[in-house]
Amino acid sequence: MSKIVKSVFGGNDKSAQKGQIAQNAAATTFIKDMGSQGRNDLLGLAPSAENNRNLGYQGALDIFSQTIPGQIGAFTAGNTAAQAAILGGDPSITTINPNTSFSAQQLPQYTSIADALQGGNFEQKNKLANIKTDADLLLAASNGDIPGLNAADRSWYSQLLQQTPGFAKSSNYISDPNAAMSSVTGSGSGLTPENQIKMQTLLRKYAGMI
């Protein structure tokens, strides 16, 4: 009987016990890591969830405000037609067909949870999607939406944006940042060598993000 017990429970051999302890420790660490990851995923979804909620509220308010004139018009048209039918005594008027085209409204497109979980930084991708002009790129850089730029560089991008309003009408930098590199290089760029490097750095970083 003692041999059976030893063969099952290991007797004085502690290797199985140590192995179980190690597995328990590994399982505990894994559970903690998964809990932290789940919390981080949830926190990552929070901005998108709040944005979707606010879009829904605003969309509903917009639709309500846009349909009020149409509703009033439909009620007024129906009332006027009813009075005309009564006063005119025209038996052929049996139905009233108000204009209801105003009701064809659509809520904004939401960010799905799957989209929000894709990639390492969904919010950053969302900000990049709003860059439509060269001015938008400089604004994103000055706001810190382009990672890897120090405070001095961000301040300079902000000053450049304020001093050059024409950037709001151009999109050379964002349409092809690599091709635009030549426009910020050399004496023809109108930039000092130090500021040329700043613009080249910005274009390289943006090119690597899109």
Please check whether residues 128 and 186 belong to one and the same domain.
yes
Q: DSSP readout, 163-190?
A: H-GGGGG--HHHH-TTGGGGGGSSGGGT
Please check whether residues 75 and 25 belong to one and the same domain.
yes
Q: What is the pTM of this model?
A: 0.41
User: From CA 45, how far away is CA 36, in angstroms rounded?
Assistant: 14
pLDDT of residue 88: 67
Query: Is 110 part of any domain?
Result: no
User: From CA 61, how far away is CA 74, in angstroms rounded?
Assistant: 20
Last residue of a domain, one of 103, 137, 156: 103
Query: Is 141 part of any domain?
Result: yes
Could you give the number of structural domains in the chain? 2
Residue range of the domain that includes 166:
121-209
The tens digit of pLDDT for each residue in 145-189 reads: 888 888 888 888 888 888 887 887 787 888 888 888 888 888 887
The tens digit of pLDDT for each residue in 75-126 reads: 887 777 777 777 666 555 555 565 666 556 565 565 666 665 555 555 666 6
11 and 5 Cβ atoms separated by less than 8 Å: yes
Please check whether residues 156 and 190 belong to one and the same domain.
yes
Query: Is 131 part of any domain?
Result: yes
Last residue of a domain, one of 48, 71, 103: 103
pLDDT of residue 6: 53
Q: Taking residues 57-76, what's their average pLDDT?
A: 77
Length of the chain: 210
Please check whether residues 25 and 92 belong to one and the same domain.
yes
117 and 49 Cβ atoms separated by less than 8 Å: no
Please check whether residues 91 and 141 belong to one and the same domain.
no
Query: Is 115 part of any domain?
Result: no
